[in-house]
Amino acid sequence: MTVAPATHARLTAFAARLQAEGRLPSLVAGVARGPGLDWWCGRGEVDGREPDDDVQYRIGSITKTLTAIAVMRLRDEGQLDLDDPVGRHVPGTPYADRTIGLLLSHGAGLAAESPTAWWERSPGEPWAQFAEHLSAQDVKHPAGRRFHYSNLGYAVLGEVIARCRRRPWEDVVRDEVLLPLGMTRTTPRPCGRAAQGFAVHPWADVVLREPEHDAGAMAPAGQLWATLADLGRLAWFLLGDTGDILAAATLEEMAEPAGIDASSLGWSAYGLGLQVVRTEGRTFVGHGGSMPGFLAGVFVDPFEQTGAAVLTNATSGLSAGALPGLLDIVRTTEPHVVAPWRPLESVDPSTLALTGTWYWGPSSYGLRLGSDGLLHLMGLQGAGRDSRFRQVAGAWIGLDGYHTGETLEPVREGGHVVALDLGSFIYSRTPYDPAAPIPGGIDPAGWQPS
């Protein structure tokens, strides 16, 4: 699949402005609506030639997403739990009580950077030597108290992976994530045609070469190099083509924002190895990356089923609007055509009996059974605590919103559903229905005019 000529022209003009106005030595940008790139272009020069989709750039913290995928595979296999303290898998760290889930979501309160020299510009050390630098001073905040982005935390996660698999982190990520996805040009160090990283002088059109080293124990936080074609494949993975690498429900879990009210109109949050951004009613999922001499990003719009990626070999200068801009062009010129609606092939009568209008106190809600097999709870008069529920082992479990993880239980009397119990909240067929077990009872006088 390719984009229409008019879309191609707009995307190319947009990428050209990003490179020229940002004073970027080179830039590659692409859009994906499938396993490959539907559009891409290169601007500037790498080794005297315009870059293509097979030139490697350092992707920085996009590495964290690949590290997180490897951790979630271990979780799904039962090798670890997100509530496990780090010390269970990596004994001896001075923050052994911090959990794996908090490390993934940057909620463990660890320092942002390595306790060693500026790790992005200095040769790294293997874990055994690196661990000697760790101390209680690396803990900056109480566990779970606040979001604090931590490269150090992902170094620890890399060691968790290595201990669980008894293999180096980079080998696990290569064999369990990159190769199954077909990302054969994503490597720990530059391989084949690769861009040199530069800093561009702020007040003169001259450049300075930036250093590049093996980050050692810090590598799981930002070591990898990749091509635009490989990031396009990663975008399609983030849009749901998870194959045998992760269950679709696990990817959905990774993209769930931590510590943020996801019902608000605009916010920026972090899930489990994924950045989640909502702006103007649209939600983007992915990750950005930066290292000395390089900037990168890959984000997807799940609703539009479109992903975009950008790579450049400059320490600064890439517009924050680069990826949203690419996605917006595709959305406005070639909007995603949703699949046709089809009814359910079969339905359990007991489930169908749950649908219809319900009242939480005087607030009205609708409960609808969708063709996706989920129950959708929707506020009917203004704002409400909307949620979706999936049947798991006979119980309806909340998937999102206020009721995430809560159980929706039918309350039956005489074989009929008279109420819904949602985490102790009682929903009745009429406002404060006397036939429902309303906590606190109901005034026997009933509803009065005044």
Residue 312's domain is classified under what CATH number? 3.40.710.10
Domain hosting residue 373, numbered range: 349-428
Confirm whether 259 is domain-assigned: no
Q: Residue 184: how many CB atoms within 10 A of its CB?
A: 14
Confidence of residue 419 (pLDDT cuts 50, 70, 90): very high
Q: pLDDT at position 394, please?
A: 86
Confirm whether 212 is domain-assigned: yes
Are residue 91 and residue 144 in the same domain, yes or no? yes
Are residue 193 and residue 279 in the same domain, yes or no? yes
Are residue 325 and residue 362 in the same domain, yes or no? no
Quote the number of domains for the chain.
3
Q: Collect all residues with Cβ–Cβ distance below 8 Å to 326 and sequence separation of at least 6.
A: 11, 14, 15, 29, 31, 308, 310
- Alpha helical stretches, state H, 78-184: 100-104, 127-130, 151-165, 169-173, 179-181
Q: Is 80 exceeded by the pLDDT of residue 261? A: no
Q: What mean pLDDT, rounded, does the chain reach?
A: 95
Burial class (CB in 10 A: 0-12, 13-18, 19+), 372: exposed
Q: pLDDT at position 1, please?
A: 63
For 93-131, the pLDDT digits (tens) are 999 999 999 999 999 999 999 999 899 999 999 999 999
Confirm whether 326 is domain-assigned: yes
Confidence of residue 383 (pLDDT cuts 50, 70, 90): confident
Name the strand (E) or helix (H) holding 12: helix 5-22
Q: What is the mean predicted confidence (pLDDT) over 136-158?
A: 95
How far does Cα 388 stand from its chain's mean position?
Answer: 19
Q: Is 412 left (phi over 0), alpha (psi -120 to 50) or beta?
A: beta
Q: pLDDT at position 414, please?
A: 86
Confirm whether 48 is domain-assigned: yes
Cα-Cα-Cα-Cα dihedral sign, residues 234, 239, 244, 250: positive
Question: Token pair for residue 414?
Answer: 């005489």
Q: pLDDT at position 260, please?
A: 75
Confirm whether 439 is domain-assigned: no
Q: Is 70 exceeded by the pLDDT of residue 374? A: yes
For residues 48-72, one letter each, b for 16 or more C-beta atoms within 10 angstroms of the residue's C-beta and e for the rest, the string is eeebebebbbbbbbbbbbbbbbbbb
Are residue 190 and residue 224 in the same domain, yes or no? yes
Confirm whether 399 is domain-assigned: yes
Q: How many angstroms separate the CA atoms of 269 and 258, rounded?
A: 7
Q: How many angstroms separate the CA atoms of 295 and 288, rounded?
A: 8
Mode of pairing for the β-strands spanning 395-398 and 387-392: antiparallel
Q: pLDDT at position 264, please?
A: 63
Are residue 205 and residue 225 in the same domain, yes or no? yes
Are residue 54 and residue 98 in the same domain, yes or no? no
Confirm whether 87 is domain-assigned: yes
Are residue 119 and residue 69 in the same domain, yes or no? yes
Q: How many angstroms separate the CA atoms of 264 and 284, rounded?
A: 14
Are residue 242 and residue 209 in the same domain, yes or no? yes
Are the CB atoms for 176 and 170 separated by under 8 Å? no
Are residue 379 and residue 325 in the same domain, yes or no? no
Are residue 211 and residue 316 in the same domain, yes or no? yes
Q: pLDDT at position 439, please?
A: 92
Q: Collect all residues with Cβ–Cβ distance below 8 Å to 172 and sequence separation of at least 6.
A: 70, 161, 162, 165
Confirm whether 254 is domain-assigned: no
Looking at the DSSP assignment, which residues form a beta bridge with residue 309? 30, 298
Q: Residue 153: how many CB atoms within 10 A of its CB?
A: 29
Q: How many angstroms separate the CA atoms of 56 and 226, rounded?
A: 5
Q: Is 90 exceeded by the pLDDT of residue 86? A: yes
Are residue 151 and residue 97 in the same domain, yes or no? yes
Q: Is 90 exceeded by the pLDDT of residue 52? A: yes
Are residue 57 and residue 72 in the same domain, yes or no? no
Instruction: Give the CA dihedral 77, 165, 285, 304, nearest 10 degrees.
Output: -60
Q: Is 203 left (phi over 0), alpha (psi -120 to 50) or beta?
A: alpha
